[in-house]
Amino acid sequence: MNLMMLLEMAASGLGDRIAVGSRSNGLTYAQLLNQAQAAARRYRNSGVDAAVLCDESSHAVPITLFGSAWAGVPYVPLNYRLPDDDLLALAGRVGSAVAVTDEANLKRLATVDAVTTVHQSAFLADPAGGHDGGVEPGDWNMDPDNVAVLLFTSGTTGTPKSAILRQRHLVSYILSSVEFMGASEDEATLVSVPPYHIAGVAAMLSSVYTGRRIVQLPRFDPHTWIDTVEAEGITHAMVVPTMLTRIVDALDERGGEPLLGVQALSYGGGKMPRPVIEQALELFPITNFVNAYGLTETSSTIALLGPDEHRIAQYSDEPAEQARLGSVGRPLPGVEVAIRDDDGNDLPAGQVGEIFVRGEQVAGEYREKGSLLDADGWFPTRDGGRIDADGFLFVQGRNDDLIIRGGENISPGEIEDVAVSHPRVRDAAAIGIADREWGEKIVLVAVPNGATPDAAELEDLIRSRLRSSRVPAHIVFVDELPHNDTGKLLRRVLREDYTHLGNDPGD
Amino acid sequence: MVELKAGARFQSTVCTTEVIVVKGAGEVDLTCGGAPMVAAGTGSIDGSPADGAAEGTQLGKRYGNEAGTIEILATKAGDGSLAAGNEALAIAQAKTLPASD
């Protein structure tokens, strides 16, 4: 198996269709195949161990992704916005590599000996870099265990780990979830997640295989996103929650005129605030919404909540159906999900434990610590969650984020869900702060929706829905919660910001 | 007979068809155009599909048996038709999963 198999099929079935770029001057599948071959020449003839991309989205993304697969070296997209120390530390861990990059990073990466840099424009003008021969049609490595992609996890809880995705994981994901040439010629997908996000990798692969034109938005801005949707005839898009929040605000600013051209809008990569998705369902009244849940280590999506469930939840009076908007839906075909307690026992429907996942697309392996799959192939996601009686999965956040108050494990998600059900709360984060009496106490950081709500009213709401142990000791109102650039909530930052509200056991 | 296993690739010996196994296990008499298929890259095309086994394969289509235990995907199209033992493999229904990325 090799990712190149997907592109070869697309080039053979849809050679003249535009694969990436605008309708007037994009690259066709046949041209993309050609460029990937040229890039493979550069990689193979220069004998490097990896193909790095340290740059925002451009045509270089699919060219380096497929070119590296052809050459048989891992594709390693790096976060080009990282501070110097972090970027250089990651680049230093890659080994010998050719890095396609921008002006600013050309200078930064020049200090890493094993990395040879090439500017994006020079690379796009000549992907082969003057190399000739050494790469022939069909001569890619078909070993399914060949490493396809190395992705650094976002490191919101510690040093980034490099997740290994082998050819078989990514190819299985595509073959089991995407129909070949399933897209019609007028479809186009807007990719606004950066190349170093698993969704950015998956978007290239699934769009190529299904024959849907890729349009890239290098620097996300909600107004540019809306304008691009209209100018490029975008029919499909994937966004992280912070992006949807800003798109919804921007549409609101423009007078709340609904966007009708978008046929399908999927979101994932973090918890979506309930008020935002409800508003989005109004602003995209005929769009098919998909909530996708997945991890870097699982080759992207493992469960999804489909369009029908979204609309049923929007219009239903049934609490169980309305609650589905907070669910990530059901596992993909071929993916198994189980909820287990701390001792590894399977838990019945409704009970909260750790989410475990198994399937062909589940890699669960890191360069630093090897495979985390157990003997039966199950991967512990470190996410807490439960499955309801109808098989819908509810994710309650990272187990590392659990608040331990008075010996009781409290999931921030349950408090946040109740908080945002208040009409004047738009988003909320519950964190644990060191406390002499309780070990940790709960601080709720909330973003008001319009006028600031009364804290006591919010406490009463939480007390009435949950146990009294869940009532925050402090409620703080802020304009915005801290997120990283791919929309993950930075609880670590919040914990630092509000340490002063606790009383450390040592004081 | 060939060993079916997810990810295994086979080629026809009487047409240009190539397939990858999506689902399947164990020894199966996998044929294309009436002739046994061989591991991809190990055979050459000699002759043409037999009568009654020449309906052709389509690029990117999935083919399966009645019991649903075998699913293979055509990665290159050809003139022969696929069979497992005596059973012709038919085009499986397209997946209707919504786009998620």
pLDDT of A2-25, one tens digit each? 999 999 999 999 999 999 999 998
Residue A346 and residue A354: Cα distance in Å, rounded? 10
| Secondary structure class of A351 (helix, strand, coil) | coil
More confident: A129 or A487: A129
A428 shares its domain with A389: no
Give the pLDDT of residue A211: 97
Distance in angstroms (rounded) separating the CA atoms of residues A159 and B33: 55
Check residue A100 and give its pLDDT.
98
Mean pLDDT, to the nearest integer, of A462-484?
92
* pLDDT (0 to 100) of residue A504: 53
How many structural domains compose chain A?
3
Q: Phi-psi category of A74—alpha, beta or left, where left has phi over 0 and alpha has psi -120 to 50? A: beta
CB A98 within 8 A of CB A44: no
Q: Which residue has the higher pLDDT, A224 or A257?
A: A224
**Best mutation site among A177, A212, A214, A240 for testing chain B: the one with the most B CBs within 10 Å?**
A177
| Same domain (yes/no): A203, A347 | no
Q: Residue A236: how many CB atoms within 10 A of its CB?
A: 28
A2 CB within 8 Å of a chain B CB: no
Name the residue with higher pLDDT: A38 or A450: A38
User: Same domain, yes or no, for A139 and A76?
Assistant: yes
Using pLDDT thresholds of 50, 70 and 90, give the confidence band for residue A83: confident
The answer to whether B26 contacts chain A (CB < 8 Å) is: no
The DSSP symbol for A440 reads E
A65 interaction partners in chain B (CB closer than 8 Å): none
pLDDT at A372 over 50: yes
Domain that includes residue A134, residue range: 3-219
* CATH code for the domain of A76: 3.40.50.12780
Separation CA A465–CA A468 (nearest Å): 9
A290 within some domain? no
Q: Are residues A471 and A362 in the same domain?
A: no
- Last residue within a domain, chosen from A188, A219, A250: A219
Predicted local confidence at residue A507, as pLDDT: 40
Are residues A430 and A343 part of one domain?
A: no
Mark which of A219, A253, A277 sits at the end of a domain: A219
Calculate mean pLDDT across residues A64-76.
Answer: 98
Q: Please check whether residue A60 is in contact with residue A51, taking contact to mean a CB–CB distance below 8 angstroms.
A: no
- Kindly state whether residues A335 and A362 are assigned to the same domain: yes
Domain with residue A483: its CATH number is: 3.30.300.30
In whole angstroms, give the CA distance from residue B96 to residue B80. Answer: 27
CB contact under 8 A, A142 and B40: yes
Q: State the pairing for strand pair A213-216/A162-166.
A: unpaired
Helices (H) and strands (E) in chain A, counts: 16, 26
> What is the average pLDDT score of chain A?
93
- What percentage of chain A exceeds 70 in pLDDT? 98
- Residue ending a domain, choose from A356, A372, A398: A398
pLDDT the model gives residue A155: 67
**One domain for residues A148 and A70:** yes
The DSSP line for chain B is -EEE-TT-EEE-SSSS-EEEEEE--EEE-EEETTEE-EETTS----S-PPTTS-S-B-TT-EEE-TTS--EEEEEE-BSS-EEETTEEPEEPPPP-PPP--
Checking if the pLDDT of A397 tops 90, the result is no
pLDDT of residue B95: 66
The string of pLDDT tens digits covering residues A327-362 is 999 999 889 999 999 888 999 999 999 999 999 999
Q: Are residues A354 and A460 in the same domain?
A: no
pLDDT of residue A59: 98
Domain boundaries, chain B: 2-91
The helix (run of H) or strand (run of E) holding residue A174 is: helix A167-177
Q: Which of A170, A173, A179, A212 is the mutation pick for testing B, counting most B CBs within 10 A?
A: A179
Structure confidence at residue A506 (pLDDT): 42
- A210/B76 CB distance under 8 A: no
At residue A402, does pLDDT exceed 90?
no
Cβ pair B99:A199 closer than 8 A: no
Measured between alpha carbons, how far is residue A288 from residues A2, A181, A211, A273 in Å? 31, 20, 19, 18
- The pLDDT of residue A401 is above 60: yes
Quick check: A264 and B98 CB within 8 A?
yes
A1 and B CB contact within 8 Å: yes
Beta carbons of B99 and A266 less than 8 Å apart: yes
Which residues in chain B land under pLDDT 50? none
With an 8 Å Cβ cutoff, are A178 and B97 in contact? Answer: yes
Nearest to A175 by CA among B50, B71, B58: B71
pLDDT score recorded for residue A21? 98
Query: Which of A181, A206, A294 lies at the smallest CB-CB distance from B60?
Result: A181
| pLDDT for the residue numbered A398 | 80
* Angle between the N-to-C axes of helices A60-71 and A29-46, in degrees from 0 to 180, rounded to the nearest 10: 50
Residue A209 and residue A67 share a domain: yes
Share of chain A above pLDDT 90, in %: 79
| Chain B interface mutation, best of A5, A174, A299, A330, highest count of B Cβ atoms under 10 Å | A5
The verdict on A448 touching B (C-beta cutoff 8 Å) is no
Put simply, the answer to whether B97 touches A202 (Cβ < 8 Å) is: no
User: Do A360 and A466 lie in a common domain?
Assistant: no
The pLDDT confidence band at residue A44, using thresholds 50, 70 and 90, is very high
What pLDDT digit, counting tens, does each position of A166-198 carry? 999 999 999 989 999 999 999 999 999 999 999
CATH value at residue A385: 2.30.38.10
Residue B16 touches partner A, C-beta closer than 8 Å:
no
DSSP at A329:
B
Q: Give the model's confidence band at A159: pLDDT under 50 very low, under 70 low, under 90 confident, else very high.
A: confident
Q: Which has more confidence, B38 or A435?
A: B38
Both A55 and A173 in one domain: the answer is yes
* pLDDT tier, A473 (very low <50, low <70, confident <90, very high otherwise): very high
The sheet that has A353-358: what strands, in order across it? Answer: A336-340, A353-358, A379-387, A393-398
Instruction: Identify the burial level of A155 via C-beta atoms within 10 angstroms of its C-beta, where 0-12 means exposed, 13-18 middle and 19 or more buried.
Output: middle
Question: Which residues does B101 contact at the CB level (< 8 Å), separation at least 6?
Answer: A199, A202, A203, A206, A238, A266, A268, A292, A300, A301
Q: Is the pLDDT of residue A381 over 90?
A: yes
A35 and A66 share one domain = yes
Check pLDDT > 90 for residue A438: no
CA angle (B29, B34, B38) in 5-degree steps: 50
Q: What is residue A237's predicted lDDT score, i.e. its pLDDT?
A: 97
Nearest-Å Rg of the Cα atoms of chain B is 13
Q: Biggest alpha carbon distance in chain B?
A: 44
